[in-house]
Amino acid sequence: MAKNRNASQTYMRFINLAAAIRALPTFPALDAMEERVLNGLAAVWATGVDVKVLEAMNFGADTSPSTVHRRLKGLQTKGLIRMYSSPQDSRIRLIAPTDLANQYFEQMGRCLSLAVRNDAR
């Protein structure tokens, strides 16, 4: 019984370690507000429309524009979005996703598919 417990304990350590390795962070950690802003941006990008910084600042009815703007700066620092001047009007600043953001959405999509698949089983 003792030898079986040792072997199973090693196996459990292996399983838990493998899970921890899979869960190693690959993206910059986002707080709840940043995640909300990013998801809001993603919803608009998905329609093929450019997002203006001023529009993004008014995304949340319950959040002040300055708070949203701070979060946009945070997302820019973390390399998830880039802000650039509109080619048509240099006074207007637009927001675009970076490759990192696209990878993030892809990974979220994969996690969601996996969760749905496991749920269906």
Partner 1 sequence: MIRCVQLLLHIGLSAAIWVCAYYLNGWMFAAFESTRTANWVFLPAAVRLLAVLLFGGPGAIGLGIGTLVTNTPIFGWMTMPSAAVATLSAIAPYIAVRAGGALLHLPATLHGITGVSLLQLGAMSAVSSVFLHSVLFYVLGSDNGVRGFVSMLVGDVLGTLLVLYVLRTLLALGGRWRGEKLGGPS
Residues that bind partner 1 (CB under 8 A): 2-3, 6-7, 9-10, 12-14, 16-26, 110, 113-114, 117
Structure tokens at 79: 């390399």
* Among the listed residues 103, 44, 38, 49, the one whose alpha carbon sits nearest the alpha carbon of residue 73: 38
* Residue 115 C-beta: closest distance to partner 1, Å: 11
Q: How far apart are CA 41 and CA 74, in angstroms?
A: 14
* Residue 2 C-beta: closest distance to partner 1, Å: 7
Structure tokens at 57: 């600042």
* Residue 28 C-beta: closest distance to partner 1, Å: 13
* Closer Cβ to partner 1, 12 or 54, answer by number: 12
* Closer Cβ to partner 1, 54 or 115, answer by number: 115
Structure tokens at 2: 């003792």
* Closer Cβ to partner 1, 91 or 117, answer by number: 117
Question: What is the side-by-side order of every strand in the sheet holding 93-97?
Answer: 51-52, 93-97, 81-85
* Closer Cβ to partner 1, 14 or 84, answer by number: 14
